Chain A
């Protein structure tokens, strides 16, 4: 009997091929299972809270679970990080791509890529030791563990990644564009800003979206400097707060595996997963479009 998989585009498969197929199936299970488990496990809390899960302001274990403080915290901290990182990363990318010689450029990129891999716990340690005290003294606050501190730390953390990906986008603009522009009498800076930058915009947007995704999901570094206080922060960023991952990091060990509390944490996880998946999907779409 010969199985027909023409619908899936699978060619004829020998016995060894079945081993590979099983491995591929395991991968598929891991990816789909992740999403599926998040949905299934958050059903109890969604059933008991309904839409109120995302709109409620109070997270009282045993009584009510409202995710709004964490959702707001995540959005604020990520927004702050992007706001801080964008001008810096873009300047750096523009200078690296358009003005540095190729050997120095390669070295700068190497350093950036190495630093993009520094573990979150290291940033957490640096944040706890220097940043919280610095924020407290400079801004004259009672407590240095604030939303702003977390946003600032995340900005430093995603800087290498955003810079190197946007630099890729700038550098992939064909040199004919630059030559044509300079032969028309535009200066190098005008060329960079008016020709190269607009051409590479989709790639830069993609780079930023991937950076946002990474910032939104960071747990450890944020957890150590944000102060872990559940409240809807309003527009004051210099108070303690909470993000979805920091909440998960703080409470996962207490709720471990059972009860409505665990289900509520899985609901938070599902919310985070959807937010990050949308960001990543659109980020990759932009990068793909820019590289075509």
Chain B
């Protein structure tokens, strides 16, 4: 066997492996569709679940998930925006800035269940919010903080230096520069960050399963101290009733909805990111 045949064989091997990877990942999507679509009877999205999740729809679970992630972004966005602007506009390069960047990375990689544990102690016990949707949204807010920060920072740092110089040459004060130049120009980055943050919050289960959610008993929270049903917890509980085919079927339906939600948000984020790159190249 000469070197060229050997090379062709290796090439065929790694090419085949690559094909298998892509096929495996598409088959995951295929399975989700094949298993999830049969559960989608008319009104699956708009009916309340009945009989401990075995029949009915997922309306309140869906609203719970949407509510938690939206409120989390409301908490998180001002902090992310403020801290990034402080770090890029007010803080010179140095050890403190590097430390803050490292903290963002570490926060980003922290196992999500730890946000649940510590968040429960801080928000739930010390701030007395208990097991409630408020605690859950605060925990998710801390969890998605690095996601928002990274996107916003990328957008702010991608601004051409001449924009700032022009602002300075016009004698704009720094707050005016931020308000008139930096914020409008990095708007798409902010939107990308928000969408990616929403996607991350929507997919999270571990951090909220014992701090914010309930499986049954509550439909839509009436008080700040009420827990909330979510798609994630719904799937988690139903998935553990493997012996019961009705539960599993409902779990697949809810899973497909959740996956669709996450994909939609991610794709929308990418659309805005492309927009941002195009604008900065003008």
**A interface with B by C-beta (< 8 Å):** 8-11, 13-14, 16-17, 19-24, 26-28, 30-34, 37-38, 41, 88, 91-92, 94-96, 99, 108, 110-112, 114-115, 117-122, 124-126, 128-130, 156, 159-160, 163, 187-190, 210, 213-214, 216-220, 224, 245, 248-249, 252-253, 256-257, 265-266, 269, 272-273, 276-277, 279-281, 284
Contacts and interface: CB of A to CB of B under 8 A. Distances in A.
A21 B78 CA distance: 12
A224 B263 CA distance: 23
A118 B124 contact: no
Contacts of B131: 256
27 contacts: A9-B94, A9-B97, A17-B89, A23-B78, A27-B103, A33-B118, A41-B121, A91-B14, A91-B18, A92-B17, A111-B22, A114-B263, A117-B263, A124-B235, A124-B239, A125-B235, A125-B255, A126-B28, A156-B28, A160-B25, A190-B7, A220-B205, A245-B111, A252-B120, A269-B113, A276-B109, A279-B109
Contact of A189 (B10, B115, B235): B10
* Interface size grouping (class) on chain B: 35 or more
Interface of B: 3-4, 7, 10-11, 13-15, 17-18, 21-22, 24-26, 28, 31-32, 35, 78-83, 85-87, 89-97, 100, 102-107, 109-118, 120-122, 124-125, 131, 142, 145, 149, 173-175, 178, 199-200, 202-206, 209-210, 232, 235-236, 239-240, 242, 248, 251-252, 255, 258-259, 262-263, 266-267, 270
Contacts of B104: 31
A144 to B, nearest CB: 11
B206 A249 contact: yes
Contact of A95 (B3, B15, B174, B251): B15
B91 A30 contact: no
The DSSP consensus for interface residues of chain B is: helix
Contacts of B85: 20
A49 to B, nearest CB: 18
Contacts of A266: 117, 121
Contacts, number: 255
A253 B131 CA distance: 10
The DSSP consensus for interface residues of chain A is: helix
Contact of B203 (A110, A117, A129): A117
Nearest to B107: A31
A266 B116 CA distance: 11
Contacts of A249: 113, 206, 209
Contact of A118 (B18, B203, B204, B242): B203
B239 A280 contact: no
A280 B251 contact: no
